[in-house]
Each structure stands twice: as C-alpha cells, then as structure tokens.
Amino acid sequence: MALDPRLVSPKEKPLFVAGAIFSGLVWLVAVVSIVGLLYALLGALFVLGAHALFLAHVRTNAVRVDERQLPDLHARVKAAAARLGLQDVPAVYVMNGGGLLNAFATKLLSRRYVILLSDLVDHCEDPRQVDFVVGHELGHFAAGHLKWNAFLLPYAIVPWLGAAYARAREYTCDRCGLAAAGDLEQSMRGLVVLSAGGRIAARVDLAAFASQRQEAGEFWPTVLELTSYHPFLSKRVAALHELSAPGSAQAVRRSVAGWIFAPALGVLGGGAGAAPVMVVAIVGMLAAVAIPNFVRYQLKAKDAGAQAALQALYRAEVAAHEKEGSFRELQLGEAATRTPAAFADAELAAARELGWQPPTGGHHVYTVGVGRTQDGRQAFAACAESDADGDGVYAAWMVWEPLDDGEGNLIAPASPCRFQPKLARAAVFGEGDAAGVPVRVSPDDVF
C-alpha cells in the first residue's frame, strides 16, 4: 500500500523535480569527466564504510526494539508502519543520546533503520507523542526520501532550493507522524517535546507557541531558516494545525534582505549555506570513528598471520626432529617495525632447509630456541614478535614443543623472544597450554 498523497507536502514534489534535474546534470558531468566520477566513488566508499561502522556500533550497543525487548514500543512501531502503508518495518533501536532529544531514519544499502535517542522516548509522557515521533521517522521511508539521498547530494548545497527541499520533506514527515498518532494535540506536543522537554511540553499553550512563528519574518530568523534543513518548530506546530483546520495559520512573510543574504550569512548558523563547511565537519567526525577502527582491523589481520605462521613452523620443526633427531634453532629478522619485516637471504635459506616458508609482507620476526636435557632429549619454543603500529611496544605469539621431565611434568625452554614484548601472561609453557598450539602472550590492544 502506497503512502496517501495527501500526506505529502505540496512543495515537496516541485522542489524534488528541480533537484533531480540539477543533480542529474551534475552526475552527467562527473561521468563525462571520469576524474570527477572517480572522486565521487572514492568519497562514496569512504562514507559508506564510516556509516557501516556507525551502524555496527548501534546494532551492538543500542537496544533493538522487537517482541522481546520493549514489546509495547514494537507494537506501536508496527501499527504506525501499517497506517503509512509500509509493508517492511525498518529495524528500530533505542540508544543513549547523552541528553539529546532526537530521532532519525537511515539506511545502509537495502537495510533500513530508525534510531530513537532514549531521552526523547523518556520525555514523551503520552504514548501518542512517541507514535508521532516514530511516524515522522517512518515517513521518510514511506515517502521514499532516503532512496534518493545519494543522487540528490549535489542539490543539497544549492542556495535556497536545497534547504527548501529538505524542509518540505520534514513537513511531509510531520504529516505522517500525525497520521500515525491519530491525535492532533499530542502530535503538536510531540514537537514541543523537541523544543523544551516532556514535562514542559505538557503545560505549553500550543496556540501561543505556534504564534512565535511570527518572529520568523525578521532578518536573522529568515537567514537561519533559509539555510536550515528543518523548519522552525513553531512553524511545524502551526502547519499541523493548518492541516487539520485550513485557514487557521496564516503564512509569515520573510525578510527580503534575509532572502538575499542567507547564502552568505548561513555559515554563521551552520545551515545549508554552510554546506561545504558542514560536509567537511561531518566527514571529519566520521573519519574520527572510521579511521581508528579501520586501522585496528588492519592490525588485527596482520597480527593473525603470525598464528598460522607459527603453526607451520611448529610442523616443520617436528618433521625435522623425526627425520634428523633434533630441532633447529632459527632466527629471522633483525627488528619488527611498522613496515613489513625483511629477512636476509641466509635466514630464508635456513627456513627453506627446515621446510618452512616464512610469510611474505608480514610484520613479525621469528625466533626458535632449543633446550636440551642432560640425557640429550630436546624441546623447543618459538616466538613471533611485531610492532606493526610502530609505537615501540612489541606484541608476541608463542608456540612450544615440550618434553616430559620424568616426573610427569611437561617443560619447555624459556622464551626466545628478543625484543621484550609487553606481556599479558608469562611467556613460558604453563598449565592450560598445549604442544603445537600458538598462544598470544601480549595484551589484545598491543600489535
């Protein structure tokens, strides 16, 4: 079932058509120029990765709303989705917003999400206010807003029009919120909750609050509104009342000077006139989350290679012992650094003679120490050390081939590690260790 067209703001469609034409031309130029398309693809991949990491944080830390968790809220979400004609209900999460009163809809490829900040949910004293908030966010999906976001990205920074289209979408979603809540007063109070919190929203005179929109016609409010992606809350309350009682809320004339200077002065209020600055800020914040996580994933992948390498080294040593009756001491690499480890030709030749092929492009150096008892029996310990992040603190993996000391105890040589790695446990064969099973003896945050 499609969204009722009466819920769509009258200004949204013509502004969308203008945006589609403009954005289509921009993307056409990007495709023709090749270089522009390449930059666009690289930027899209970066933003997609950063957004994926953010949603991974939400999915693993926020509370998923379903039949088992917050079932009452889940039922209200399903009811709101049904009223708006949504067959597939997006995943809904409640997360701590640190005091912020907000909610938002987002998507990652085909997966759709609504994220409600917990303080907003707590402040909605009437459940119909929650219905309004949920309906507003679901409205973005019902109206198809998010599926056009990437295509319309160039339009977002067009003076006057880009922000006007964004505001029209918000008016559409307010109508969806009203349809979901089914109550005009509580829908308007749901907007006031965003303004002043729940307890105050319950006591606010809605007509008086809506009348505050008259001040929007002055110079500075005009500048702010024309460069904002969300309409003023007082205007949104008045628009809901106008929808239910046509003619009850007269339009407010904006300042002509404000119209003229809005694109230039919008940067002061952080509106769409400051879109390039805001894009840089947003990308910077996303990078602050994405880059450290990406680097950590890379370090983990590099570190995991040592486990497989030590297993192969262990098998080669055991095979050599079975063939020759002795283990071989071995040393590969002079130092572990941020750059891939380099091995001397003689070291590589010794490894090949043993029957072990050291990994190429890895960040670990390897050492095998052999111990002997008085009666000639042998055991060995092998160590893989790295400093892949270049902080001067080494991490280590170890593997052992112990022997029986004659009293039923398994013993192995002392650690052959050469660079004093930071340890989370003793670098010696102990209880719980097994022959041939590599063990990371350093803390998880050291690479």
Q: What is the pLDDT along the chain (447 residues), one digit of tens a residue?
A: 678 999 999 999 999 999 999 999 988 877 776 656 677 778 778 888 888 999 999 999 999 999 999 999 999 999 999 999 999 999 999 999 888 899 999 999 889 999 999 999 999 999 999 999 999 999 999 999 999 998 998 898 888 999 999 999 999 999 999 999 999 999 999 999 999 998 999 999 999 999 999 999 999 999 999 989 999 999 999 999 999 999 988 889 999 999 898 888 866 655 544 454 445 455 555 556 556 766 777 788 878 888 999 999 999 999 999 999 999 999 999 877 788 888 999 999 999 999 999 888 888 999 999 999 888 899 999 999 999 888 899 999 999 999 988 787 888 999 999 999 999 999 999 889 999 999 999 998 898
With a CB cutoff of 8 Å and minimum separation 6, the contacts of 32 are none
Q: Which residue has tokens 């029996």?
A: 377
Q: What does 1-21 look like in DSSP terms, one character per residue?
A: -PPPGGGS-TTHHHHHHHHHH
Please give the Cα distance from 363 to 396 (Å, whole number): 11
Q: Are residues 436 and 401 in the same domain?
A: yes
Does 146 fall in a domain?
Answer: yes
Does 296 fall in a domain?
Answer: no
The per-residue pLDDT for 71 is 96
The torsion region of residue 247 among left (phi > 0), alpha (psi -120 to 50) and beta comes to: left
Q: Are residues 174 and 315 in the same domain?
A: no
Does 395 fall in a domain?
Answer: yes
Please give the Cα distance from 137 to 132 (Å, whole number): 9
Q: Is residue 232 within 8 Å of residue 217, measured between CB atoms?
A: no
Q: What's the whole-number average pLDDT of the chain?
A: 89
Domain boundary among 262, 288, 314: 288
Q: Are residues 49 and 126 in the same domain?
A: yes
Does 274 fall in a domain?
Answer: yes
C-alpha to C-alpha distances, 282 to 86, 164, 180, 269, 371, nearest whole angstrom: 30, 21, 32, 15, 58
pLDDT tens for each residue of 321-335: 999 999 999 999 987
Q: Cα–Cα–Cα angle for 262, 264, 266, nearest 5°?
A: 55
Does 298 fall in a domain?
Answer: no
Tokens found for residue 134: 């949920």
The per-residue pLDDT for 276 is 45
The torsion region of residue 360 among left (phi > 0), alpha (psi -120 to 50) and beta comes to: beta
Does 318 fall in a domain?
Answer: yes
pLDDT tens for each residue of 175-219: 999 999 999 999 999 999 999 998 999 999 999 999 999 999 999
Residues spanned by the domain of 178: 5-288
- Of the candidates 324, 326, 328, 302, the residue with the CA atom closest to the CA atom of residue 313: 328
Tokens found for residue 231: 């309409």
C-alpha to C-alpha distances, 175 to 7, 145, 193, 226, nearest whole angstrom: 5, 14, 17, 21
Q: Which residue has tokens 């509580």?
A: 186
Q: Are residues 271 and 335 in the same domain?
A: no
Q: Are residues 388 and 273 in the same domain?
A: no
The per-residue pLDDT for 277 is 46
Its sign, for the CA torsion 422, 351, 324, 437, is positive
C-alpha to C-alpha distances, 291 to 229, 295, 359, 445, nearest whole angstrom: 28, 6, 26, 16
Does 211 fall in a domain?
Answer: yes
Please give the biggest Cα pair distance in the chain: 104
Please give the Cα distance from 155 to 22 (Å, whole number): 7
Q: What are phi and psi of 374, to 5 degrees?
A: -65, -30
Q: Are residues 16 and 114 in the same domain?
A: yes
Q: Are residues 86 and 153 in the same domain?
A: yes
Domain boundary among 258, 288, 318: 288
Q: Cα–Cα–Cα angle for 373, 377, 378, nearest 5°?
A: 90
Q: Are residues 273 and 309 in the same domain?
A: no
C-alpha to C-alpha distances, 51 to 40, 110, 179, 287, nearest whole angstrom: 16, 13, 30, 10
Q: Is residue 262 within 8 Å of residue 160, measured between CB atoms?
A: yes
- Of the candidates 131, 140, 113, the residue with the CA atom closest to the CA atom of residue 56: 113
The per-residue pLDDT for 263 is 83
Residue ranges of the alpha helices (H) in 62-126? 71-83, 118-123
Other CB atoms within 10 Å distance of the CB of residue 425: 14
- Of the candidates 321, 80, 297, the residue with the CA atom closest to the CA atom of residue 180: 80
Q: Are residues 265 and 373 in the same domain?
A: no
Q: Which residue has tokens 């929007």?
A: 216
| Partners of 380 in the β-ladder | 370, 401
Q: Are residues 226 and 316 in the same domain?
A: no
Pairing verdict, β 63-64 and 91-95 = antiparallel
Q: Are residues 380 and 241 in the same domain?
A: no
Domain count, the chain: 2
The per-residue pLDDT for 48 is 87
Does 426 fall in a domain?
Answer: yes
Domain boundary among 226, 255, 288: 288
With a CB cutoff of 8 Å and minimum separation 6, the contacts of 73 are 65, 92, 94, 121, 130
Q: Are residues 278 and 320 in the same domain?
A: no
The per-residue pLDDT for 395 is 94
